[in-house]
Amino acid sequence: MSKNMPSISDAEWEVMKVLWKNPPKSASQVVTELKALVDWKPKTIRTHLDRLTKKEIIKVNRDERLYTFTPLFSEDECKRAETNSFIKRVHDGTTKSMMLQFIEDETLTKEDLQELRSLLDEKLD
């Protein structure tokens, strides 16, 4: 990820997805929402919250009796940073290489290809 945004593990992404929906959230709210999605113990989820706080990806509001957690980066910022990191690590920083790999390997429908072409045409304008 970028220099100012620490790396997020796969498990931490799951926690972040919950936090991005209507923040701030208490630890118990995060636990409740995640337990419906993954088979993790509450202590595991709290550990992930602690790690994300230490990485300064989320902040904890200790002013209230009930601590709440809020993302410091938007979902889009994190996705963009993760994409850039992936392109640098796997495709030597070349977006074209990644796009060609994706197009060659994926089964894209005619509609998918038309949408991609439309997006590329917009970039040219």
Query: Among 15, 5, 16, 30, which residue's Cα sits nearest to residue 84?
Result: 5
Sequence spans of domains, the chain? 10-71, 75-124
Residue 26 pLDDT > 90: yes
Would you state the pLDDT for residue 74?
95
Coil, strand or helix at 1? coil
Tokens standing for residue 65: 């009796």
| Fold of the domain built from segment(s) 75-124 | Penicillinase repressor fold (1.10.4040)
CATH number, span 10-71: 1.10.10.10
Tokens standing for residue 62: 């200790």
Tell me how far apart the terminal alpha carbons of the chain are, to the nearest angstrom. Answer: 30
Whether the domain at 10-71 and the domain at 75-124 fall into the same CATH topology = no
**10 pLDDT band (50/70/90 cuts)?**
very high
Complete DSSP assignment for 57-115: SEEEE-SSSS-EEEESS-HHHHHHHHHHHHHHHHSTT-HHHHHHHHHHHS---HHHHHH
Would you state the pLDDT for residue 77?
94
Q: Using one digit for the tens of pLDDT, what is the confidence trace for 31-85?
A: 999 999 999 999 999 999 999 999 999 999 987 788 999 999 999 999 999 999 8
pTM of the model: 0.81
